Structure 1
């Protein structure tokens, strides 16, 4: 799976990006091309090591398996089984998971996730636009949303920086989300636009969680500089690598 909490955070990013693009906001921002030309995401100061990936994978306990390379995109990620887990993750562990995904169609790179002392969370990184099409298709959403959005841009970017900051929690897969700041292509999106999109984002995320067989977030809370998860996760995740 897109490991529990890490899955939730990257899910927030992808659906916010898609909705903003589909809304046409980016297509009318002056000087967008030059901004997208700077393809480096924000540096949140999170440095992680291979040990952080191993520690995070051990906490979720999900067994990773490989599917045949000829598997169709729509079948390229599968989940089986269910087990109860309770764990907490640091910024380093979350960032390590977000950057070490074997799935061929995972579109994120250079991701940093920072959990702050005030219980807010920040995430920054790059989205590969080509892989984004396959990612959306594999998760059962309409690829045309991305296609229509990209057509509204002054040109077709190969990758796009993002940054999101906010607070939130989950109870029984019911999401409460507050987005304090959002940047797409290093441009800050007006708060009124983010507010309008938030309801759609939450609906999309809750549907997204329902699609993952064996996943249930009884509780996701942020405190003491860590993300705390209680619920169930699949026993195995199989992907095309």
Structure 2
């Protein structure tokens, strides 16, 4: 069974961690900027409530995820606290570095949304919230399932050392999964599958409606997927990050 790597707060001063945090900020910023910007443009063109608008938003998120993961080889291109938690649950990133990533991702998402407010002349950043006929429990389950799908795909196509013919295709395939998730769940839970993606618009518009759902659901789904895949499918191929005394 994989042991979670605790790490140390000293990681914050290590050059490789600093570089990773800079890259993670950039790729998360661009992901949220493009994703939220597309949602704002869709609303401005009165397409936000149509299938065409949902398709545009899904494709924008999927494409930018694929590119940002491909370019995020220094940080891993997580873009998402749920992805970071899922990788931490599999022992691929330390607890302390995960915490640094979370702060980094939230700052990047907030910066992207505040910039969008400025660039659009003060338009409101649209928050992710539940549809009127979707309850809290339903919303959480939607987000758990969709985020589990995302993290399971990340492990199967990028993390798993036995990915075989999928080697190199991981970022593109994960982008497809993100787009598919938004098409499936966007009309119901909003398909955030990413606490940072929900946090940025919420803080920029100061509207926290249903916001807790987009922490509980994605973090639960991401953590479960990472733990299950690492322990039941990778079959002992995991290489621990730190010495035994640094894990628990």
Bin of the TM-score, shorter chain as denominator length: under 0.3
The structure that is strand-richer by fraction is: 1
Question: Normalising by the residue count of structure 1, what TM-score does the alignment of the two structures yield?
Answer: 0.25
The structure that is helix-richer by fraction is: 2
